[in-house]
Amino acid sequence: MSETDARMLGFPPEVFAQRRERILGSLGKGVMVLPAAPTLYRSGDVELRYRPDSELFYVSGLTEPEAVAVLSGEGESERFTLFVSARDADAELWSGARLGPEKAKEIFGADASYPIDDLETRLPALLDGPDRVFFRLGHRGPTQALVLAALARARLKGPRRGAGPRAIVDPGVVLDDLRLVKDEHEVDRIRRAAELSVAAFRVALAAVRPGLGEWELESLIDHAFRTGGGAGPAYPTIVGSGTNACVLHYVDNHCNIGDGDLVLVDAGAEVDMYAADITRTFPASGSFSGIQRAVYEIVARANRAAVEAVAPGSTVGDVHSAGLDVLVEGLTELNVLEGEAATLIEEEGYKPYFPHRTSHWLGLDVHDVGDYARDAESRILEPGMVLTVEPGLYFRPDLTETSGSGAELSGIGVRVEDDVLVTVDGHEILTGDLPVAAEEIEGLIG
């Protein structure tokens, strides 16, 4: 692998060049400003491991901190400008080597590249001509102040000059739809992240037992991510045993797993910036109880029904509806809900037990960008889109006590989640090597 490919996590440079051409063609007279993610701190001066900004990487392949990319919709020169850290031996002693402007220009194909310390003097000139600036407000760092200053100058001088930005626009207006449909290089990363995640789940299933700490299961999963070549977890690993499974984003992972508990694990590896996202729920003892199996099989059927709804021309809403129909039918079978299914769905009577949607987009971010509806109509699925399918049922103890749905359901939480690629002729379950059927799950435990 060449130095250029290595710096871009194995992506060919022409992939980013082609993306920039599409983006530049959508900017009109505007300019897009994409700063690197800020350095975050755990406490005091202890830095968290740096994770590059998804948008900056998507456009340029750049993974260094303290950088800014500027794309100018008009002009023949300097349409792609980079600002990066200058070489500094003292700083690099502590944080590692940086490319510097000259090397960054060569590797990333920029028209111009300058030290980040020049941003304050050079960026205003790049912002004074365009009619709008594509920039995500709320970014921590000096870039936002420079963008807002350009807008203020245009308000004062723009009417006489007929130039200058009059609006700040979210970059997602241009980037989100591009990121929503994955190319072959992106699908390869998500597939590898999914395979690594499946392997980690198999490790967890083999190790789970009553008395084990939730944190121990978490450590086995995250260890498998790293030893398998991933960057680690794409998001904090969830290990919820017993009633903790009813907390949707439970990440404390500080309890011991009880005998007879169900264990809900929601985890995914990150490979070259791309995420996987899997959830499985399984009995710590190795066998589902009668009521646990009844709930689990409802959710598993909902998962399969929703997955089968994934196809080009279907909508995100179709996927959700397919899973929801099965869940509502199951809730009536369990005598939790009464009435016609259509009425229960219209009145959202299921919401206390299934409060979330069935899917989200997956990619550079685990909850990846892209609208789920357009003009009040559910988004139509296209080949290259990747989404999760994750129905669930959660019977919080306080909920079952007040609803009269039965003590036997109290504290049961079940979710089954897979990652699905929309293909030309249907779909591919990227996490399909991890079983869903109850008896197959039981067979992997211990």
Question: What pLDDT, in 10s, does the model give residues 55-92?
Answer: 999 999 999 999 999 999 987 788 999 999 999 999 98
Percent of the chain with pLDDT over 90: 90
Cα 128 to Cα 427: distance, rounded to the nearest angstrom = 47
Is residue 254 among the annotated active site residues? no
pLDDT score at 399 = 80
Is residue 249 among the annotated active site residues? yes
Which residue in the list 14, 45, 90, 184 is annotated as catalytic?
A: 45
Q: Looking at the predicted structure, is the pLDDT value of residue 200 above 60?
A: yes
Is residue 390 among the annotated active site residues? yes
Q: Considering the chain, what is the average pLDDT of its residues?
A: 95
Query: What six digits make up the tokens of 73?
Result: 């919709």
Where exactly are the structural domains of the chain? 3-178, 181-444
Nearest to 72 by CA among 15, 119, 126: 126
Is residue 415 among the annotated active site residues? yes
Which residue in the list 55, 186, 266, 419 is annotated as catalytic?
A: 266
pLDDT category, 160, cuts 50, 70, 90?
low
Query: What six digits make up the tokens of 314?
Result: 């279907």
Which residue in the list 79, 360, 396, 427 is annotated as catalytic?
A: 360
Q: Looking at the predicted structure, is the pLDDT value of residue 356 above 70?
A: yes
Query: What six digits make up the tokens of 362?
Result: 């997956």
Which residue in the list 249, 338, 375, 377 is annotated as catalytic?
A: 249
Cα 68 to Cα 136: distance, rounded to the nearest angstrom = 13
Which residue in the list 51, 139, 153, 356 is annotated as catalytic?
A: 356
CB 301 within 8 A of CB 262: no
- Residue 383 burial by Cβ neighbours in a 10 Å radius (0-12, 13-18, 19+): middle
Alpha-carbon torsion (140, 143, 146, 152), positive or negative:
negative
Is residue 261 among the annotated active site residues? no
Which residue in the list 55, 277, 368, 418 is annotated as catalytic?
A: 277
Nearest to 67 by CA among 103, 94, 28: 103
Which amino acid type is present at position 147? V
Is residue 223 among the annotated active site residues? no
Cα 200 to Cα 182: distance, rounded to the nearest angstrom = 25
Q: Which CATH class is domain 181-444?
A: alpha beta
3-178: which CATH number, 3.30.70.270, 3.40.50.620, 3.40.350.10, 3.40.50.2300? 3.40.350.10
pLDDT score at 80 = 98
Cα 277 to Cα 266: distance, rounded to the nearest angstrom = 7
Query: What six digits make up the tokens of 344?
Result: 């229960």
Is residue 360 among the annotated active site residues? yes
Which residue in the list 390, 418, 419, 442 is annotated as catalytic?
A: 390
Is residue 88 among the annotated active site residues? no
DSSP 97-166: ---HHHHHHHHHT-SEEEEGGGHHHHHHHHHSSSS-EE--TT--SHHHHHHHHHHHHHHHHHHHHT-S--
Q: Looking at the predicted structure, is the pLDDT value of residue 42 above 90?
A: yes
pLDDT score at 75 = 78
Mean pLDDT over residues 157-183, rounded?
A: 88
CB 273 within 8 A of CB 423: no
Which residue in the list 394, 396, 419, 442 is annotated as catalytic?
A: 394
pLDDT score at 156 = 84
Which residue in the list 214, 417, 418, 442 is annotated as catalytic?
A: 417
Residues 6+ apart with CB under 8 A from 92: 98
pLDDT score at 1 = 60
Which residue in the list 333, 367, 371, 401 is annotated as catalytic?
A: 367
pLDDT score at 359 = 98
